[in-house]
Amino acid sequence: MSFSLWIDRRLWRIATGRSSVGEWRLSTHADAVSCGTSFVFLQWWISDMSSDERAPQSNFLPTDTRAVILVSLMVSLISAVVLAWLGQPFWCECGRWQLASWDIWSAHNSQHPVDPYTFTHVLHGILFCGFLWMIGSRFSVIVRYSTAMVAEGLWEVLENTPLVIDRYREATISLDYYGDSIANSVFDILACGLGFLVAQFLGLRWSVAVFVLVEAVLAWAIRDNLTLNVIMLVCPLESIKQWQMPP
Ligand SMILES: [Zn+2]
């Protein structure tokens, strides 16, 4: 599978901590190029089998359900394999087969398939849908969907490289954060897909409304959301950090 091209030795060295930030920057360029190449293959392969491509452009759900399912499964599977290879655990250390964990201040956070942060991944999907519609409305929905899914899969992998994990732990409240479990990452990717489809179905206005609502509920419920997450990752603010401290 061409998609695996981007997993090269550089990423491995970053993952195993044998790489400096300077090297990381260099390698992200190289990774971006090889990723882009694999992506073109993936697009071609999907558009080839999708009847959606030849159908008149619709602003609704992709007509080919099989393609949606296949893309979702494929991205999930490949990401899971890469994460396993990076050494992430499959499930929460507690070993309880519980589907959801709602306490973000517990060690179970990001280890069970569903937690409050799952909703931020639904928001990723909504954002991807809007962004890709703005820049690529000439492409079919399924092509945009797979673009979003591949990007989300890449993000899930990057999120679990030591560089990003360490940055999270330094800058945010996630003091004992060692990355996500594979089960959690796979559900995050699927949540992104769900967000994309929901936004595609709802259209712009209702998608914006859902986005704002989810952000507000998350801020109220867990003192964290996508916006705060991005702020704290890019330029950490002490005041937000204090407010986010566990009660
Ligand atoms: Zn647990």
In a domain, 124, yes or no: yes
Residue 3 lies in a domain: no
Q: Distance, CA 247 to ligand 1 centroid (Å)?
A: 20
Identify the residue whose tokens are 């296949």: 70
Q: What's the rounded Cα separation, in Å, for the pair 172 and 169?
A: 6
- The mean pLDDT value for 30-57 works out to 50
Q: Angle at CA 144, nearest 5°, toward 138 and 150?
A: 150
Distance 101 CA to ligand 1 centre (A): 7
**Nearest to 2, CA basis, from 46, 65, 67:** 46
21-30, 52-61, 66-75, range with greatest mean pLDDT: 66-75
In this structure, is residue 42 part of a structural domain? no
Cα of 74 vs centre of ligand 1, distance in Å, is: 26
Please give the Cα distance from 20 to 50 (Å, whole number): 42
Per-residue pLDDT averaged across 170-193, rounded? 83
pLDDT at 191: 96
How far does residue 75's CA lie from ligand 1's centre (Å)? Answer: 25
Residue ranges in 21-140 assigned as alpha helix (H): 21-49, 65-85, 118-136
User: What is the average pLDDT value for the chain, to the nearest integer?
Assistant: 78
- State both tokens at 95: 């070993």
**Six-digit token string for 184:** 């959690």
Do residues 61 and 141 make contact, with C-beta atoms less than 8 angstroms apart? yes
pLDDT at 82 over 50: yes
Distance 180 CA to ligand 1 centre (A): 12
CA of 176 to the centre of ligand 1 (A): 14
The count of residues in the chain is: 247
164 or 72, which is more confident:
72
Q: Angle at the Cα of 98 (from 161 to 226), degrees rounded to 5?
A: 45
Residue type, 155: W
Residues sharing a CB contact under 8 Å with residue 221, sequence separation 6 or more, in sequence order: 116
CA of 163 to the centre of ligand 1 (A): 24
Q: Is residue 93 part of a domain?
A: yes
Percent of the chain predicted with pLDDT > 90: 40
Does residue 9 lie within any of the structural domains? no
CA distance 6 to 3: 7
Ligand 1 geometric centre to CA of 98 (Å): 7
For residue 181, the CA-to-ligand 1 centroid distance in Å is: 10
243 alpha carbon – ligand 1 mean position (Å): 25
User: Quick one: average pLDDT of 145-165?
Assistant: 91
Range in 65-74, 218-227, 232-241 the model is least confident about: 232-241
* In-domain check, residue 193: yes
Cα(159)–Cα(191) distance, integer angstroms: 16
Ligand 1 midpoint to CA 100 (Å): 9
Q: Tell me, yes or no, whether 90 lies in a domain.
A: yes
Tell me the C-alpha distance between 76 and 35, whole Å.
Answer: 16
- For 92-129, how does the pLDDT look when each residue is reduced to its tens digit (9 = 90+)? 888 888 898 888 878 888 889 999 999 999 999 999 99
Centre of ligand 1 to C-alpha 218, Å, is 21
Q: What is the rounded distance in angstroms from the CA atom of residue 85 to the CA atom of residue 197? A: 30
Does the residue 18 lie in any domain?
no
d(CA 116, CA 189) in angstroms, rounded, equals 14
CA–CA separation, 178 vs 160, rounded Å? 8
Domain count, the chain: 1
Mean pLDDT of all residues in 68-81: 95
State in Å: Cα 115 to ligand 1 middle. 11
**Could you list the residue range(s) of the whole structural domain that residue 198 is in?**
58-244
Which tens digits make up the pLDDT trace of 124-150?
999 999 999 999 888 989 999 999 999
Residue 168, pLDDT above cutoff 80: no
Task: Report the distance separating Cα 113 and Cα 95, nearest Å.
Answer: 12
List residues bridging with 100 in a β-sheet: 114
**Quick one: DSSP state of residue 114?**
B
